[in-house]
Amino acid sequence: MNLRHSIVTRFALFFTGLIIFSILLSGYLVFRKASQVITEHSKERMMQASELAEQSFYALLNEVTNDIAVIALSPTIQEHIHRPSVKTTSDIDQLFRIILENKETYFQIRLLDAHENGKEIIRFDKEKGIVRKSNNLQQKGDREYFREAIQINKGEHYFSNINLNEEYGVISFPYTPTLRVASPIFNSENKKVGILIININLNPLYRNLDRIAGNDSKFYLIDSKGQYLYSHDRSEQFGLQTKKYKNFFSDFNIDENSNEPPKEGFQQLVHQPNGNYLSYFKELPYFDGKRKIYLISNMEQNVLLKNALTVRSESLQTLLWVCLISILLSWFFTNLFSKKITKITKAISNYDKGIPDENALPTNRKDEIGILANTFSKMKVKIDQNVLELNTALEKEHLARNQRDEFLQNMSHEMRTPLNAILGLTKLLYKNASDSQLPIIHALERSSSNLAGLVYDVLDHQKLVEGKLQIQLEPTNISELLRDIHSTYLYEAVQKGLTFNLQIDDKLETGQFQTDPLRLTQIVTNLVVNAIKYTKKGTIGLSAHINGTESQVLNIKVNDTGVGVLPNNLSKINDRFFMEKNELSGRYGSYGLGLSIVKQLTTLFGGTLRASSQKGIGSEFWVSLPTISTSSRKLPKPVPTSTFPLPQLNGTYKILHIEDDVSTSELIKYVLNSDNINLLQTNSLEGASNIIMVDSPDLIISDLMLENEKTQDHLYDWIKTKKINCPLIVVSALGPGEAEVLKCEYFQKPFHLDHFKDTVYKLLGSNEFEPPDFSNIYKNYDHDTVKVDRVLKLLEEEFNIYLKKINTIVKAKDQVIWESIIHKLIAHINNLGLITLSKVLPEKIISLNSDKLSKINNAFAYYLCCLRVEIQLNLKDRSS
């Protein structure tokens, strides 16, 4: 591209970046240099001020040193020491009075006896400029300054620590910062006979320090521990005596625990919240270096750099004006040359919003605008074409998804409903079957279960893909499970002229293992069905064995002599409907949905699926699943007949059953055949509405699909408008999610008849019994469904034992055993709120007649019914 055609070149001529950067850099350098100059000048000022403050302090010390030396050696004092009399006392009074009147900083002068525990011989005080002689003389032997002053030698002078003056242990008011200067008095025999002490008021010195510091800086006098001896803020002074505990080290973030004294020179200090300070430390020793205080000159950085900050602020204002003018110029120039770009931008924006734009783009230009216009025009054509193809594909995919969902839902309803009737009626056949009929009924039940498994294969595949299916472990006799599968498909294999062999490990014959029997049956059944279906001649083998002791693995192998799989296609067996040859169908060209479900269920178990095959020779499939042994003995296979005790109801209850499937209606009619139940059945919502309006039922049982119309919205409206005032049980082939809004008991077809009957009797029985409260169990075990399930099953077992014991000892009338049972039951009565049971249990077994025993049995039957329902509800929570 020619440089003269570039828009960037035109904009660069008016670009203001360099100017702005130059001004910023210049301002920074000027501010930095000014700051350095001001800082150096301020340091000189602080050092000079510190020297003046130091001179003032030492001038005061020199003055008082000279004065006390003259007074101690004066003839008046010496005369009084050697020959005390009324005259010498009068002369000393005159001397002390003159000294206090002429010295502004002296406010007390005393002569103490060196031997009589520091007794004051003569004392003069000055208060508000008036000098008085004190008659209230004290003993100062216990004072620190006396004990230290008595130790000094002739010609030496004592200086105390600086503190607030105290009288009788109480701080004098107004506060008087005091320095005490002492000199020993010797007689002609050079024996120490007295101590002369002058108290100096340091307030005049402090005022002088205020003047020296000026307005820009501040002085501090501190001791080695950081206590303020002097501060511009007088309330900070002498914190240890005033109990305010203000401390310089704490205020300026200095380590107060350090054993090293502050170093002389300049330091940077930080004071919260006032900011940063430039500080100059100077040590002021006195009393021959035995005492040290520290003079600190402080200047706040903002005050220090006030002029420089003013210059910077004005520079920034100037810079802002320059930037504003530059931006305006840049905007004007950019707007002048960007009309074509704006045109393209508007076209792109309108295209994004779907607004037609008929304006012609400047595609004939040679600069960036022309390139952008040409590129957008070409891109627009491609996008329109791709969007059209994508929308068409999305419509097809959406239609296919809806059709799939509708198909699965309809198939679920149409297949689960007859299966429910078949399985339910099969269980009922056991009740009146003879021994010769049991194998036939068992084969019928097994075939129905296998058909249900095939239905689950199709309906569960989508759940597997979406990750919504979960394994539900329970103790299972795997050998019985495999024998059932073998006997089910043995006839089909023989019909094709195949040999179907079964080999089971002895460990599986003699024990039970934790697994999901339904999902394990689906895995093995799919492999066996594939093997039989696609083997023309030869042998089918099913074998199983267990490995390990603690971490056990169940290994199941299914082998055949069928058509086999090409080696390079073995890795594709997990693909749904993978085709090996397009012209073939079934096993010869497709591995079907079955193997995909086998792979996904195996993964869900945490196991592995392996395969080996040779084309035309046969295939072998190995499934390895983790499991745990739960029993060392083989349990007999139970005959599927209901032995659950149900409560005997006293009242008569009306149940409305809404169902359009005749078989299911007949099944429910048989299951709920009782003198205490009046079952009203209808196959339409209109009929149900009429029944509800005429005679309000005690319980409603309803399907969710009547004549291909969903009923949940109608049921929800009836509940919301209080048309339904009784419990609701939903029995449907649709998924549980369809009934969530109804918040009711739900049974998906095919369902367990005994569980359904338990639920019905639990709801009806709540009109005659106080239902148990299981909330304490869930609370005590933190709603852990596994632990709660274990506790509920233990309770069911215990209640059965209690019921059996009660019926056993009723004849023996053994009061000791009876009290033992009552004692154990009380804990359950209190924990579960078993009010009905507590009312019918007598204290004395002798009063337990047949009528009361019947009521106890009935109460236990109701509670066991509630326990079984709760176990099933908890199981649903675990699997959801």
Judged against a pLDDT cut of 90, whether residue 840 lies above it is answered with no
**The CA-based dihedral angle spanning residues 437, 438, 439, 441, taken in that order and rounded to the nearest 10 degrees:** 90
- Per the DSSP assignment, residues forming a β-bridge with 159 are 181
What does the buried/exposed string (b/e) look like for 174-204 if buried means 16 or more CB atoms within 10 Å of the residue's CB? ebbbbbbbbbbbbeeeeebebbbbbbbbbbe
Question: Three-state DSSP class for 441?
Answer: helix
Task: Return the half-sphere exposure (C-beta side, CA atoms, 13 A cut-off) of residue 188.
Answer: 6
Most confident segment among 482-496, 695-709, 762-776: 762-776
Most confident segment among 290-294, 471-475, 869-873: 290-294
Q: Higher model confidence: residue 739 or residue 417?
A: 739
What's the pLDDT at 641? 42
Confidence band for 654, pLDDT divided at 50, 70 and 90: very high
Q: What is the tens place of the pLDDT at every residue in 86-103?
A: 899 999 999 999 999 999
Return the closest-CA partner of residue 547 out of 633, 480, 634, 625: 625
Give the CATH architecture of domain 433-631.
2-Layer Sandwich (3.30)
Stretch 45-61: mean pLDDT: 92
What's the pLDDT at 3? 42
Q: Higher model confidence: residue 171 or residue 407?
A: 171
Query: What is the overall mean pLDDT for the chain?
Result: 81
What's the pLDDT at 573? 57
CA dist 161 and 62 (Å) reads: 16
Stretch 604-620: mean pLDDT: 87
- What is the number of other CB atoms lying within 10 angstroms of the CB of residue 657? 23
Return the closest-CA partner of residue 554 out of 622, 473, 500, 499: 622
What's the pLDDT at 873? 84
Q: Report the percent of the chain where pLDDT is more than 70.
A: 82
Judged against a pLDDT cut of 50, whether residue 208 lies above it is answered with yes
Class of residue 528 by CB neighbours under 10 A (exposed 0-12, middle 13-18, buried 19+): buried
CA dist 77 and 113 (Å) reads: 13
The domains of the chain are located at 215-304, 433-631, 653-765, 775-879
The helix (H) or strand (E) run that includes residue 611 is: strand 608-614
What's the pLDDT at 843? 85
| Tokens 């003069």, located at residue | 124
Specify the amino acid at residue 549.
Answer: T
Q: How far is CA 704 from CA 409, 468, 735, 760, in A?
A: 12, 22, 10, 18
Judged against a pLDDT cut of 80, whether residue 26 lies above it is answered with no
What's the pLDDT at 631? 55
CA dist 192 and 152 (Å) reads: 10
CA dist 97 and 76 (Å) reads: 13
What tokens were used for 585? 């169908």
- What is the number of other CB atoms lying within 10 angstroms of the CB of residue 506? 10
Q: What is the 3-state secondary structure (H, E, C) of 283-299?
A: EEEECCCCEEEEEEEEE
What's the pLDDT at 850? 85
Confidence band for 879, pLDDT divided at 50, 70 and 90: low
Most confident segment among 360-364, 399-403, 579-583, 832-836: 832-836
What's the pLDDT at 697? 92
Residue 356, preceding peptide bond in cis (omega within 30° of 0): no
Return the closest-CA partner of residue 533 out of 562, 511, 565: 562
Question: How far does CA 467 lie from the centroid of its chain?
Answer: 26
CA dist 145 and 467 (Å) reads: 89
Judged against a pLDDT cut of 70, whether residue 855 lies above it is answered with yes
Give Cβ neighbours of residue 156 (< 8 Å, ≥ 6 apart): 183, 184
CA dist 232 and 274 (Å) reads: 15
249-256 own/partner pairs: CB under 8 Å, 24+ apart: 250/226, 252/277, 252/279, 254/226, 256/225, 256/226
Confidence band for 65, pLDDT divided at 50, 70 and 90: very high
Q: What is the tens place of the pLDDT at every residue in 337-361?
A: 666 666 677 777 777 766 776 667 7
| Tokens 């059945």, located at residue | 681
Contact 107, 199 (CB under 8 A): yes
Give Cβ neighbours of residue 467 (< 8 Å, ≥ 6 apart): none
CA dist 209 and 211 (Å) reads: 5
Q: Higher model confidence: residue 873 or residue 595?
A: 873
CATH for 215-304? 3.30.450.20
Most confident segment among 334-338, 501-505, 579-583: 501-505
What's the pLDDT at 664? 83
What's the pLDDT at 138? 87
Residue 362, preceding peptide bond in cis (omega within 30° of 0): no
Least confident of 233-237, 360-364, 714-718, 801-805: 360-364
Confidence band for 413, pLDDT divided at 50, 70 and 90: low
CA dist 759 and 727 (Å) reads: 11
What spatial distance separates the first Cα and last Cα of the chain, rounded to whole Å?
66
Most confident segment among 21-25, 33-37, 653-657: 653-657
Stretch 841-867: mean pLDDT: 88
Judged against a pLDDT cut of 70, whether residue 466 lies above it is answered with no
In order, the DSSP letters of 45-110 are: HHHHHHHHHHHHHHHHHHHHHHHHHHHHTSHHHHHHHHS--HHHHHHHHHHHHHHHHH-TTEEEEE
Most confident segment among 166-170, 307-311, 422-426, 431-435: 166-170
Judged against a pLDDT cut of 70, whether residue 574 lies above it is answered with no
Confidence band for 178, pLDDT divided at 50, 70 and 90: very high
CA dist 118 and 111 (Å) reads: 9
- Per the DSSP assignment, residues forming a β-bridge with 333 are none
Report DSSP state, residue 430: G
Contact 198, 266 (CB under 8 A): no
Least confident of 196-205, 247-256, 575-584, 732-741: 575-584
Return the closest-CA partner of residue 625 out of 501, 480, 508: 508
Judged against a pLDDT cut of 50, whether residue 301 lies above it is answered with yes
The helix (H) or strand (E) run that includes residue 543 is: strand 539-547
Least confident of 18-22, 142-146, 817-821: 18-22
What's the pLDDT at 540? 93
Question: Three-state DSSP class for 667?
Answer: helix
Give the CATH architecture of domain 653-765.
3-Layer(aba) Sandwich (3.40)
Least confident of 280-284, 304-308, 615-619, 838-842: 304-308
Confidence band for 632, pLDDT divided at 50, 70 and 90: very low
What's the pLDDT at 583? 35
Stretch 154-167: mean pLDDT: 90
CA dist 806 and 748 (Å) reads: 38
760-764 own/partner pairs: CB under 8 Å, 24+ apart: 760/655, 760/672, 760/699, 760/701, 760/729, 761/646, 761/647, 761/649, 761/862, 761/865, 762/862, 762/865, 762/866, 762/869, 763/699, 763/727, 763/729, 764/649, 764/653, 764/677, 764/698, 764/699
Specify the amino acid at residue 856.
Answer: I
Stretch 543-570: mean pLDDT: 82
CA dist 570 and 579 (Å) reads: 12
CA dist 472 and 594 (Å) reads: 21
CA dist 127 and 108 (Å) reads: 9
Confidence band for 309, pLDDT divided at 50, 70 and 90: low
Judged against a pLDDT cut of 90, whether residue 106 lies above it is answered with yes
Contact 269, 253 (CB under 8 A): yes
CA dist 337 and 589 (Å) reads: 67
Report DSSP state, residue 676: T
What's the pLDDT at 635? 45
In order, the DSSP letters of 181-249 are: EEEEEE-TT--EEEEEEEEEE-HHHHHHHHHHHTTTEEEEEE-TT-BEEEESSGGGS-HHHHT---BHH
What's the pLDDT at 803? 85
